Every structure is written in structure tokens, then in C-alpha cells.
């Protein structure tokens, strides 16, 4: 077991349509097709459903550009603080706190 966690604090803002389109079309073609296969985090009964749908859509989009799905988008996160935690023996965990400060990062080790 890895016993790792990351916590991020900051501001998230939705990307513009232009940024989303530009990023989508910069991705590998199979990743673009994969975006169409399912809406992320929706429940599925088996992996085979994803694989079958991928092959079906790969055939459908074999000619020309893969269109941007209407449900696909992104966010830009401006990070103010991050904490990395890794479990250790005897509850002697490692914790590191990164805080944005004067254009750089202040890094502190925290007690478990």
C-alpha cells in the first residue's frame, strides 16, 4: 500500500472555449477519441464496454478531425498551498507543506 496523499489549496477557474479547443486538439488522436467514450466518473458495469465503445468511435472518427465533445472542458488551478503526506512506520509520517511566497515556494516539514 502506498499510503500517500496530496492536498492542494488554491483558486480554480474554468478555461475559455478557445483554450479548451486548443488543448483538446493538442492531445494524441486516441486520447481525443477516448474523451468521447464515456463521461468521466459515470458508472460502468465492465471495462469491455469502454473498449468496445472506443473501437466503435475510432471507426466513426477515422476521417478528419475528432470533434470536441460538448461535455469536455478544463480548469486552471492557481495553487497557493500544497501538502504532501506519506505514511510511515509507527505513525512517523512525512509531511511537507509548500506555500507560495514572493514568487517562489516556502517549504516546511510538518509534524505528523
Is the pLDDT at 97 greater than 90? The verdict is yes
Q: Would you state the cell numbers that stand for residue 104, as one nine-digit string?
A: 517562489
Residue with cell 472518427: 61
- Residues 47-96: tens digit of each pLDDT: 999 999 999 999 999 999 999 999 999 999 999 999 999 999 999 999 99
Q: Tell me the domains of the chain and their CATH numbers.
A: 4-110 (2.30.110.10)
- H/E element holding 89? none
Residues 18-24, mean pLDDT to the nearest whole number? 98
Closest CA to 21 of 78, 60, 70, 61: 70
Phi and psi at residue 12, in whole multiples of 5°? Answer: -105, 135
- CA–CA separation, 24 vs 32, rounded Å? 7
- Which pLDDT value is given to residue 2? 79
Is the pLDDT at 7 greater than 90? The verdict is yes
Is the pLDDT at 15 greater than 90? The verdict is yes
Task: Compute and round to an integer the Cα radius of gyration of the chain.
Answer: 20
- CA–CA separation, 20 vs 50, rounded Å? 23
Residues with active-site annotation: 91
pLDDT band at 108 (very low <50, low <70, confident <90, very high): very high
pLDDT band at 38 (very low <50, low <70, confident <90, very high): confident
Amino acid at each position: 500500500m502506498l499510503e500517500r496523499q496530496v492536498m492542494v489549496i488554491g483558486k480554480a477557474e474554468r478555461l475559455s472555449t478557445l483554450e479548451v479547443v486548443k488543448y483538446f486538439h493538442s492531445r494524441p488522436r486516441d486520447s481525443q477519441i477516448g474523451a468521447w467514450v464515456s463521461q468521466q466518473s459515470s458508472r460502468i458495469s465492465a471495462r469491455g464496454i469502454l473498449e468496445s465503445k472506443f473501437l466503435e468511435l475510432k471507426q466513426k472518427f477515422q476521417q478528419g478531425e475528432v470533434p470536441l465533445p460538448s461535455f469536455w472542458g478544463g480548469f486552471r488551478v492557481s495553487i497557493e498551498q500544497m501538502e504532501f503526506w506519506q505514511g510511515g512506520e509507527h505513525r512517523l509520517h512525512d509531511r511537507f507543506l509548500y506555500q507560495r511566497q514572493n514568487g517562489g515556494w516556502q517549504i516546511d516539514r510538518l509534524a505528523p
